[in-house]
Amino acid sequence: MTRMRKALGIVVGVFLCLGVAQAKAAASDITVFGAASTTNALTAIAKSYEAGGHGKVTLAFASSSTLAKQIENGAPADVFLSASVEWMEYLEGKKLLEAGSRSALLGNRIVFIVPASSAVRTLTVSPQLDLAAILGKDGLLSVGDPAHVPVGKYAKAALEHLKLWQQVEKRIAPAKDTRAGLALVERAESPLGIVYASDAVISDKVRVVGAFPVDSHPNIDYPVAAVKSANSSAALKFIKYLGAPQAKEVWAKFGLEVK
């Protein structure tokens, strides 16, 4: 009987230890909502973070507007990395972010891209640019939807500033996010697109033919913050890692400017 009690005690102890270990692991696991333009870089950084034994990172990517709305509607995010200050401020106004957790992490540029097979070699991005001629008779300009997708808003602001918007306002192929806009040009379904410089870096199916002047649109800043959740301490730990030297190398590799 004594032996049985000892055996049972050992079994219970093992299960208790496993339970504690699982609880600690769960407390370290986080879900990160990231702007679509950070997909490749953030995926690589998350893998490095996990390899260091810090916990599991679940990633979800979409346009910043879509992610912000999902968080507002109760999606279980712990960290939000936005390509738009506007949508970060939207969540801050809803009091859905951990106070004091927000910081400026990254910067980016917007560029014109064409399919790799295009005859267009380079564009001088100025008010004299003839976009209608480049698009041809039926071609559409591929870009994130200017109504809500950050890259589309930046593109519209720049085109308006350069007095080019009227040439294309009725010839937009509005994409759900910047990667969807990239894909249209990759498949040569659109002869011209506007994406972030970081998107163009990851594709050998497109070529950058022109960059927008930095003063033609608002600064492209990527703020990051912890969403109010049970895993706020783990979220803050991951945010700190995003600015660490090893992460900075990855951001730079994928064309993102580190603040």
pLDDT tens column, 168-187: 999 999 999 999 999 999 99
Amino acid at 22: Q
Task: With cut-offs at 50, 70 and 90, classify the pLDDT of residue 21.
Answer: very low
This prediction's pTM: 0.86
Whole-angstrom Cα distance, residue 128 to residue 217? Answer: 17
Task: With cut-offs at 50, 70 and 90, classify the pLDDT of residue 27.
Answer: low
Mean pLDDT for all residues in the chain: 91
Report helix, strand or coil for 109: coil
Per-residue model confidence as pLDDT tens digits over 54-84: 999 999 999 999 999 999 999 999 999 999 9
Report helix, strand or coil for 33: strand
Predicted local distance difference test score (pLDDT) of residue 219: 95
Between 178-186 and 150-161, two packed helices, what is the crossing angle to 10 degrees?
A: 70
In the predicted model, is pLDDT for residue 166 greater than 70? yes
Q: Does domain 110-216 have CATH number 3.40.50.720?
A: no
CA–CA distances in Å: residue 5 to residues 1, 8, 11, 12, 17 = 6, 5, 10, 10, 18
* Averaged pLDDT, 8-33: 54
Predicted local distance difference test score (pLDDT) of residue 28: 85
Domain with CATH 3.40.190.10 in the chain: 2-107+222-258, 110-216
Per-residue model confidence as pLDDT tens digits over 226-237: 999 989 999 999
| CATH class held by domain 2-107+222-258 | alpha beta
